Amino acid sequence: MTKEKCESFSFAFPVMHGTMGPSVLDQRRLAQETGMFTFDPGFGSTAACESKITFIDGEKGILLHRGYPIEQLALHTDYTETAYLLLYGELPTKEQYDVFCEDMASQRLLNEQIRNFFNGFRRDAHPMAILCGTVAALSAFYSDVLQTKPCHHDLSARRLIAKVPTIAACAYKYTIGEPFIYPDETLPFSENLLYMLFSRPGRPYKADPVLARALDRILILHADHEQNASTSAVRLVGSTGSNPFACISAGIAALWGPSHGGANEAVLAMFDQIGSRENIPAFLERVKNKESGVRLMGFGHRVYRNFDPRAKLLQATYHEVIDTLGLKRDPCLDLAMELERIAIEDDYFIQRKLYPNVDFYSGLILKALGIPTSMFTAIFAIARTAGWVSHWIEMISNPTMRIARPRQLYTGKIQRDVLPMEER
């Protein structure tokens, strides 16, 4: 690859303004008029779409869903209300809420044949592997909506938000060898999730409301986050007209990576690896020396360059949970707080604007709730399904939507001829 400074380039970019946030240069006619593309791997300077769902100001630590601050949603709504807001643009009235809850609860059950799929997985399969495959396989059961007609969008969205928790809970039960627990339609969303995870035949389970509320808060805080990697994956796959189950399965696959949703699991693995407070400085030295594969997990964010508002809310929730459970402080928490204290005062992290993100604390809460580490990313996927389906509907309903087809800077061999094998 060669680089040169372009002196003579001239193109009048129309400028587009949103309702909040930076304006964008409209470069849709750039290639046609100049014969050149822009180069932005990782999309750091590229707005890939227009959206009305979520707004983030990373410098100020602001996160709004449909205009509402995340702090208010976390304190004054439940996950089902937030999902309704993401999907339909407004918070529900009492009547709308009741109808939505009832309809969603009735969609929780899986087709009985889906149980057979689980037997095809190894018992030690990661729940995310099972989730990816089984969510994609839902398309084999709902052939009525595969054409993605507008009248089917809402039904597909509701089916996905309602069934992903059931699949995730079955994946967990399968890996620990316990019988599947059918969803209870009478329970609110998070209580039902805890019930499916922790109930056993012969050992009824009633979730503590404070713990259900803590889980619900985690779900609200993870419900959407504008054009992150997994949402962009959903939009990219959806732009081909692929069915909603395949699209959400793509989102789950993207979420699984440790740079994205897999970070909550990686954070706890990192705490284990560090072991105790005295090992923190040595660990941070390895991070700062960029030793291969060593990052401060749960720190840094492409968009937040000051603080992640979700991390602050989770710190408070953690204390509510341990007080309710009467648990002693998890030694991991002391380690986490000390690690955070040292890192945010360290020049390496200050200069790069690296602060704790949502995953730094969410794993500690999930652990206190008794949820095993291997299920952390699956819980994130359950929450993010509301965001994914909202973005999928927004995208597919846009009449100007085009298939996502990025271009490239080619740096490979120039054209050459194939030689007979004996001459190569």
**Residues marked as catalytic:** 301, 359
**324: which DSSP letter?**
H
Nearer to ligand ACO among residue 114 and residue 219 (C-beta): 219
Contacts of 98 (CB under 8 A, 6+ apart): none
Q: Which of residues 119-148 bind ligand ACO (CB under 6 A)?
A: none
Shortest approach of ligand ACO to residue 184 CB, angstroms? 29
Tell me: does residue 263 bind ligand ACO (CB under 6 A).
yes
In angstroms, give the least distance from the CB of 261 to ligand ACO.
6
Residue listed under structure tokens 């304006």: 23
User: How far separated are the first and last CA of the chain, in Å rounded?
Assistant: 26
Only one of the segments 143-151, 171-179, 199-207, 356-364 lies at the binding site for ligand ACO (rule: CB under 6 A); that segment is 356-364
| 3-state per-residue secondary structure call for 108-122 | CCCCCCHHHHHCCCC
Binding pattern to ligand ACO, positions 210-249, x when CB under 6 A?
----------------------------------------
Pick from 126, 213, 260, 367 the residue near ligand ACO by CB under 6 A: 260
Number of residue whose CB is nearest ligand ACO: 300
Name the residue nearer to ligand ACO (CB basis): 217 or 260.
Answer: 260
Q: 291-310 mask for ligand ACO (x: CB under 6 A)? A: ----xxxxxxxx--------
Neighbours of 276 (CB within 10 A): 11
- Of the candidates 87, 89, 91, the residue with the CA atom closest to the CA atom of residue 154: 87
Binding residues for ligand ACO, rule CB under 6 A, total: 19
Q: In this structure, which amino acid lies at residue 345?
A: E
DSSP H helical ranges for 205-346: 209-221, 229-238, 244-255, 263-274, 280-288, 309-325, 331-344
203 three-class SS: strand
Q: How far is the CB of 395 from ligand ACO (least distance, A)?
A: 20
In angstroms, what is the minimal distance from the CB of 390 to ligand ACO?
17
354 makes contact with ligand ACO (CB under 6 A): yes
| Contact present, 369 and 314 (Cβ < 8 Å) | no
Q: Which helix (H) or strand (E) holds 57?
A: strand 54-57
356 near ligand ACO (CB under 6 A): no
Q: How many CA atoms lie within 13 A of 418 on its CB side?
A: 2
Binding site for ligand ACO (CB under 6 A): 42, 259-261, 263, 287, 295-302, 352, 354, 357-359
